[in-house]
Structure 1
């Protein structure tokens, strides 16, 4: 009886592969799912399907892949606050996928195997990946990136592995055009202005804020070459240090202050206590229209970064002429 069950399972698997595989399509010339190619990532060189059809995204790979037009069949959970920042059609794509767990180290392996993925894309802490690496690789080819990978590199790797390079190409073109427009339109302001980026998070201690040098401000610093404070090479990010409200007055040494707002232009809920303080209101930049609220829906893929650049463009346009 056991042999019969095994034979039936083998036959079923063969029929499934026959339906999905085969040679090149004579009508389209597209590579069949059975064809292979290799990609290189944090876990080495991996052989993957040339045209993956059933992709699972683990950790930070979900929203970037969807942003480039991918449609994962399985995902790890995305918070409601993050989902509230993405376009409706992208949220619909996420909602259609099966949620496999709250995070990478909480993936339901049985449910994962049941989805019959042909590719798994993962970005999570290396220590967490090591705990599930063998299990995931036994289900499908797995491509992993650590958290130290820069966002553009991650986007490129995901586009290559997930076969969504067309989506990435359009986004990169738009990104480069927006960056060039900001540099050309506001070049004189950028060259002569001392900026500072301030932030506050839900986890911040009461009565504190931070001079933040990570997040979307990295785009302003690195791609547009705006003069924001940043940590010295090898030092901890400035944003890790909480400063008491009493030090808000030290921001008066900067020409322009940027701070976080939501999609409607209101100070984010965590930052609202800073914006409501008398010390903030007394700052010269605030009183003279040089405090700019910027919307940053994320900085881990091109889509949200493009929206940040739109916000930055609109904010810079409001700056009064510098005397």
Structure 2
């Protein structure tokens, strides 16, 4: 092939150069990535999060999230809509708002718990992210199989609830919901600390509880659950176990020791959404010893509603209940 004379070359126009550059840019943006996705496809973009199972590469904007174990209700509380879930007890579902219950019921039921999950059904959902919290020993049994289906982010049961909410929101890309809830929580805590500053300094509280699994004729002085919010965030003076010791709530006390609660200024105990003593706790308030307590007779035994303490939505509802209860306290004589 003969080359054209140099003198006959023409410089390309500016418009031609711009058009060529634009075509190259568009071609690069639409090119396939190594994993078969499109570089412009948000689902193909990833980021790294950290959890109890290490550093995990997850989709930047996951579209098909499966929640296993204790991640389900907190993820829904943050505004997430899982495509698959494990079972949640009817008593827990009865405590959440209707729209959250609808989001749960719209998802595919994958099994009763993390170690009983239907892996074939899970794979059929084609999830792009799995969020899980259940006992670590059970997770180890299914870890590899879960990770072969989709990126899996796992937390053990001992993770602090605020850190859990942060990690769940980051991994599931529901940080907008988290930001709104955090702001509401911080505002309410600040208001209550100011409103009840004198009470916080001068009042001795005790939280008593009882569970379905408790032995007949027993109760506990509890230092875990929602009472942790009252202690750690508001600064209310509740008894708690010494560092390194088992929680106080693990020790069952006979009904005969109910009279010892008289040494406290205020008693708190669990109630249901309608304000009635929680079913498991009802035998305590039915005892003559409880009824004879000066604290009870003076209106200083407060029923508190705690729908949960592993995400901000339920904690905010607990703070509302605590605020109303504290506001109802009669002045000390």
- TM-score, length of structure 1 as denominator length: 0.91
For structure 1, list consecutive stretches of 5 or more residues without a partner in the other structure: 1-13, 25-30
Describe how 1:87-102 pairs up with structure 2 within 5 A.
87-102=97-112
Task: Name 1:266's counterpart in structure 2.
Answer: 276
Whole-angstrom CA distance in 1 between matches of 2:191 and 2:286: 33
How big is each residue's C-alpha offset from its partner over 1:110-130, in whole Å with a ceiling of 9 and x where there is no partner? Answer: 001000000000111110000
Give 1:190 shift: 1.4
Task: Name 2:244's counterpart in structure 1.
Answer: 234
Task: Name 1:155's counterpart in structure 2.
Answer: 165
Which of 173, 176, 182 is the aligned partner of 1:172? Answer: 182
Give 1:189 shift: 1.1
Task: Name 1:108's counterpart in structure 2.
Answer: 118
Task: Name 1:124's counterpart in structure 2.
Answer: 134
Task: Name 2:228's counterpart in structure 1.
Answer: 218
Query: Secondary structure of 2:154's match?
Result: strand
Give 1:322 shift: 1.7
Task: Name 1:146's counterpart in structure 2.
Answer: 156
How big is each residue's C-alpha offset from its partner over 1:246-274, in whole Å with a ceiling of 9 and x where there is no partner? Answer: 00000000000000001111101111111
Task: Name 2:38's counterpart in structure 1.
Answer: 22
Give 1:181 shift: 1.2
How big is each residue's C-alpha offset from its partner over 1:132-189, in whole Å with a ceiling of 9 and x where there is no partner? Answer: 0000000000001111100100100000000000000000000011111111111111
Whole-angstrom CA distance in 2 between matches of 1:201 and 1:144: 28
The aligned length equals 300
Which of 59, 69, 91 is the aligned partner of 1:81? Answer: 91
Query: Secondary structure of 1:48's match?
Result: strand
How much is the aligned-residue C-alpha RMSD, in angstroms?
A: 1.2
Query: Secondary structure of 1:294's match?
Result: strand
Indicate yes or no: 2:268 matched with 1:252.
no
Give 1:32 shift: 1.1
Whole-angstrom CA distance in 2 between matches of 1:267 and 1:143: 37
Give 1:22 shift: 2.2
Task: Name 2:42's counterpart in structure 1.
Answer: 32
Task: Name 1:187's counterpart in structure 2.
Answer: 197
Whole-angstrom CA distance in 2 between matches of 1:273 and 1:43: 42
Give 1:219 shift: 0.2
- TM-score, length of structure 2 as denominator length: 0.89
Task: Name 2:332's counterpart in structure 1.
Answer: 322
Which of 287, 300, 324 is the aligned partner of 1:277? Answer: 287
Whole-angstrom CA distance in 1 between matches of 2:211 and 2:81: 31
Q: Between Structure 1 and Structure 2, whose CA radius of gyration is higher?
A: 2
Give 1:224 shift: 0.4
